[in-house]
Structure 1
Amino acid sequence: MRKRTRRRRLSMTSLIDVIFLLLLFFMLSSTFSRFAEVELSSASAGTTGTRDVTRSFVQLGESSLRVNGEEVALAALPESFAETAPEADPRQVIVSLEADVTAQRLTDLLVILRGIERLTIRVLGS
């Protein structure tokens, strides 16, 4: 005749300790800094300046991009600005967003515009 052995119940204390140590490890090894930041400045009403500034108007949609009313591909945007204004003039770009634009699409546009020298970017608010 076999003697029945009773199984011991699992101790939850050691399991909670392991979970707590894992939680501490992941919290301390993670970084909470931002990967990249894009500076935004909102366009506001103001007086016109006395200096000559070349202005461009960009309309950004989910699948469309227009510079001064002409359809342009996102990759060809720097060449478009090279043609519209000489390098000596300061340039200002006013960006208007359509309702279906995603944050990623706006970020892609701003990253490309930031690569163009002597360019001030203003984003129209709603």
Structure 2
Amino acid sequence: MMKLNRRHRRGAVVSLTSLIDVIFLLLMFFMLSSSFAKYQRIDLAGAAPSQTAAQREALLIAVAPTGDLLIDGSLMSLAVLPAYLHALPKDPLPILAVKPQAGASVQQLVDVLEAIESVGLDATLVASGDAGAMSR
């Protein structure tokens, strides 16, 4: 009988260096590609009123498709809205309700809400009766 020299195979040595390098590169990629910026938001809920809603009047601001605003039957532009809001009586402060008319764009609505927020007031968004009233 012939004796064959068999080499004993040792287990394959796996180097963890390349695995650690890949994990480090992924960590660096995700850290550098993420953004820690604070996104702006518009608070539609508003703060809790100091008085009951029954004691306060409601002021409806309708946003027309032309960008004009209809407030208490008066047609005005967005540029004069902050001055109009400053002239409102502070005690009791009316509830501001913003309603888009059919054909008004979302950007026009956001511009009105930002103008109201710039004065330091809160507004409630009133949904229009038509689901497709807002255009892009």
Where on the TM-score scale, by shorter chain, does this alignment land: which range? 0.5 to 0.7
Q: How many Å separate the matches in 2 of 1:120 and 1:39?
A: 8
Equivalent of 2:72 in 65, 68, 73: 68
Question: Offset at 1:81?
Answer: 2.2
> Which 4+ runs in 1 deviate beyond 6 A?
none
Q: How many Å separate the matches in 2 of 1:81 and 1:102?
A: 22
Q: Is the 8 A contact 2:44 2:122 kept in 1?
A: no
Q: How many Å separate the matches in 1 of 2:118 and 2:77?
A: 16
Task: Give unpaired runs (5+ residues) of structure 2.
Answer: 1-24, 46-51, 129-136
Show the 5 A alignment for 1:1-126.
Answer: 25=29, 28-31=32-35, 35-41=39-45, 49-51=53-55, 53-63=56-66, 64-83=68-87, 85-117=88-120, 119-126=121-128
TM-score, length-scaled by structure 1: 0.59
Q: How many Å separate the matches in 1 of 2:90 and 2:115?
A: 17
Q: How many Å separate the matches in 2 of 1:50 and 1:106?
A: 26
- Aligned amino acid, residue 105 of structure 1: Q
- Percent of pairs with identical residues: 26
TM-score, length-scaled by structure 2: 0.56
Q: How many Å separate the matches in 2 of 1:98 and 1:79?
A: 23
Q: Is the 8 A contact 1:91 1:120 kept in 2?
A: no
**Structure with the larger RCO, 1 or 2 (CA within 8 Å, 6+ apart):** 1
Greater Rg, structure 1 or structure 2?
2
Question: Offset at 1:108?
Answer: 1.0
- Cα RMSD (Å): 2.9
Q: How many Å separate the matches in 2 of 1:73 and 1:58?
A: 11
Q: How many Å separate the matches in 2 of 1:32 and 1:102?
A: 30
